[in-house]
Amino acid sequence: MLKEKKHISRFELLMDAGFGAQKAGDILINAFAKMGKYVYIEPMIPSEISPPPRTKPAMSGVIIRLADFDLTNIGNNTDLIIASHEIVLDRRLDDQETNPNCRVLLDMGDRNKNEESYEQVCRRVTKLGLHVFPFEIDDESKAIIKELSGKGKNMYYLGILSDIYNMSTEILINEIKETFQSKLKEDILNKNIQLFKNGFNLAKKNILFSFEVDGAPHKEEQILIDGNSSMALGIIDAGFKFFGSYPITPASSIMHLLAKEFPAYGGVVHQAEDEIAAVGATIGAYAGGAPGITCTSGPGLSLKQEFIGFATAAEIPLVVINVQRGGPSTGMPTKTEQADLPAAIFGSHGDNIKVVLSVGNIIDCFYAPQMARYIAEKLKIPVFIMSDFQTANSYKVIEKQKTNEINNIDEIPDFVFERFCIKRLPDDIEMVRTSQTTPGDAGGMRRVTGLNTDIDGNINYFAGTNQRSHQVRNEKIHHVKRALTKPEMFGEEEGDVLVIGWGSTRGAIEEAVNNCRRKGLAVSGMYMRVVYPLPGMLKEIFQKFKYVVTAELSYGDPLKPPALMMLLRGETLIDVQSITCRATGRPIQPKSIQDKIKELINTGTI
C-alpha cells in the first residue's frame, strides 16, 4: 500500500444527473470538516433538467479540495477522479483540469454493451499520461442497487473515497444516517450503508494507494456553509423584513432557505409570478417602511431594470442580489461568469445611479446585506450585491460569524464598514425631494413617481429642475466615493505587478500572489468589495507598480476590454491590462494567474 502524505489534494466524483453525486459530496465534506480538515467544494450541475443518462450533458458531480490549511478557492488541477462510466469521464477530460499524475478510477459496469466507447476513452486517458484503475461493483452490491431501482452507486463510490482518503468509517456512517434517516425507511437506509461498506472493502482490497491529509480539531467553533446559505442568513441578520423573488438558477437556494427560516424572524417571503413583479413588490415594501430585498440571476436582471430605474427616480431604497451565471440570454445557467457588471452599473436607461458591492467569499455573503441596506437607506437608491455561481454554490469551513441582529442601520458595527473598506456616510444628505415620509406618518404626504419632480415633490419638467435632480442624485454616489478607503491588498504597496479582481476571483488571486511572492517576485493583489463607485486613490496606488492587470471571469480580447479593466482605465487613465479574461464557465485557476504573471515579468507582454 502506497500512502502519500499531502498538505492539499483535489478529487472529483462524476456521475449521471439524478444519481446523487452532490449528496455524496455533501456527506464527504461534512465528515472531512468533523475530522478537522479544511474543505472547499464545487458542485458540477447540468443545465438541463433530467438530461438522458449516458450522455455528455448528463454529467453531474462534485470537485472537492482538501487541505490542512484554510482554502480560498477550488484550486488548479485534480489528483483523483471516480467516474461512473466512460462518457462522463470523456466529458470532464474536455475541461483539461487534471494533474499529470492524476489517477482515474473508472467503473467498468457498462462496458459489455459499450466496449468500443470504453476502449476509446481509456486510450484517451492513457494518451494524456494519466493512470487508469478500472474496477467493477461486486455482485452483492449490484443486487442491492437493482433492488433500489438503480440508485445507491453514490454510496458505493463514497466508500471507495473514504478508504483512499483514510477517513473514519464511523463518522461517515453517522453522516449517512443524519442525511437520510428522516427521508428513507430503515431497510433502505441500511442497504445504502451496506453499499458504502462494500465500496470501502473493494478499495481496501484492490486499490493500492491512498492519500493522507492531516487534520486537527479547530480552535474556534466552525460551520460548513455555502455562499447562498450565508447570504440568506445575512439577509435575516441585516434586519430585512421582505424578500420578493422569482426562482432562477443559481439564485433560487437563497429563497429556499428563507422560505423555511424567515417567518420565525418576522420576515415575509413573496414568490412572485415573474421577475418584474418580484422587484416591484420589493420596492413597494420599502416604500411602505419594510426593508425589502430581491434576488435574481441572468435574464432576471434584464427584466428588473425598468423598476430599478424607477426606484432611483422615486428615491426608494432597493437592494438587488444578482447571482451571475454564463450569458447572454439563457446562456449557461449552472456555470460561473462575471459579465453582468456593466448591466448592474449602466443597465437602466437615463443617467441612473447605483452602488455595486462584490462578494468574494462566504463571509462577505453574510455581511454584504448589512452594508447594502445601510447605503440603500442612507441614499434612497438601488444597491447591487454581485455574487456568482462559484461563490453561491461552493461550500467551505469557516468560523462561526458574529451576528448583529440589526433593526436600524445605525446599529451596524464598525467592523462591517471596515470589511467593505468604507467609512460611514454623512448624516445630512440632500434628496431630490424634501418629503421622504412613509405611509402612516402623521401629517406626512409624499408623491411616489418615476417622473421628474422639484424639491417639493411636484412633477416638474423645467430645465433647471431636471439639472438639479441629476446633480443631487450623482452627489449621493460622490458621498460613497469620498467615503471609500483603500481596497484590500495582498502583499506590498509597490512592486512590479499588481493583480486586481472582484467577486469569486479573490481566492485565486490571493493564492497566486502569495505563491509568486514566495518565489521572490514583487507581486501584489487588490480585491474590490465596492466595485462602483471606485475609490479616489486608485491612480496613486497604481503608479507605484510597473504593471497593473485584472483577472476577470468575463470575455475579453485585444479589441474588447473586459468590464473591470475598462472601468479602471477610465477612472485612472492608467494602462490597465487584463491578465486573464476567459468565459469558459470554469473558475479561474491560481496557476493560470501565476503563469501569466511570470510571462509578463519576463517578456513585458501578456
75 and 32 in a common domain: yes
What are the tens digits of pLDDT across the range 412-469? Answer: 999 999 999 999 999 999 999 988 887 777 777 788 999 999 999 999 999 999 999 9
How many structural domains comprise the chain? 3
Domain-embedded: residue 241: yes
Provide mean pLDDT across the span 340-358. 95
Q: Reduced to 3 states, what is the DSSP secondary structure of residue 49?
A: coil
| pLDDT of 67 strictly over 90 | yes
Residue with cell 459579465: 339
279 in the same domain as 342? yes
Name the nearest CA neighbour of 99 among 123, 69, 68, 76: 76
* Chain segment 235-262, per-residue pLDDT in tens: 999 999 999 999 999 999 999 999 999 9
Asked whether residue 451 is assigned to any structural domain, the reply reads: no
CATH number where 158 lies: 3.40.920.10
Domain boundaries, position 175: 2-213
Regarding whether 207 and 278 lie in a shared domain, the answer is no
Region 122-139 average pLDDT: 96
Instruction: Output the DSSP codes for 353-415.
Output: --EEEE--SHHHHHHHHHHHHHHHHHHTSEEEEEEEHHHHH-EEEEEPPPP---SSGGG--HH
Mean pLDDT of 380-389: 98
Binning pLDDT at 50, 70 and 90, where does residue 1 land? Answer: low
- Whether residues 28 and 89 share a domain: the answer is yes
pLDDT band for position 59 (cuts 50, 70, 90): very high
Binning the chain into helix, strand and coil, the percentages to the nearest 5 are 40, 25, 35
- CATH number of the CATH domain containing 313: 3.40.50.970
Indicate whether 21 belongs to any domain. Answer: yes
3-state helix/strand/coil string of 160-183: HHHHHCCCCHHHHHHHHHHHHCCC
User: In this structure, is residue 340 part of a structural domain?
Assistant: yes
pLDDT bracket for residue 306 (50, 70, 90): very high
In a domain, 471, yes or no: no
CA separation for the pair 597, 603 (Å, rounded): 10
Question: Among residues 395, 419, 443, which one ends one of the domains?
Answer: 419
- Determine, yes or no, domain membership for 444: no
In the predicted model, what is the mean pLDDT of residues 490-495?
A: 96
Beta-sheet strand order (sheet of 355-358): 268-271, 242-245, 292-296, 318-324, 382-388, 355-358, 530-532
Distance CA 251, CA 516 (A): 35
pTM: 0.94
Any idea what the CATH number is for the domain that residue 527 is in? 3.40.50.920
Name every residue whose Cβ is closer than 8 Å to that of residue 30 and which is 6 or more positions away in sequence: 175, 224
Out of 363, 397, 419, a domain closes at 419
d(CA 387, CA 407): 25
Read off the pLDDT of residues 195-240 as tens digits, 9 standing for 90 and up.
999 999 999 999 999 999 998 777 677 888 999 999 999 999 999 9
Which residue's entry shows cell 478500472?
134
148/291 same-domain check: no
Residue 364 within a domain:
yes
At 81-107, the pLDDT tens digits run 999 999 999 999 999 999 999 999 999
- Pair (247, 188) in one structural domain: no
Query: Among 438, 461, 524, 535, which Cα is nearest to 489's?
Result: 524
Q: Are residues 207 and 278 in the same domain?
A: no
Residues 292 and 363 in one domain: yes
Residue 581 belongs to some domain of the structure: yes
- Point out the domain boundary residue: 213, 243, 269: 213
- Based on the fold, state whether residues 238 and 204 are members of the same structural domain: no
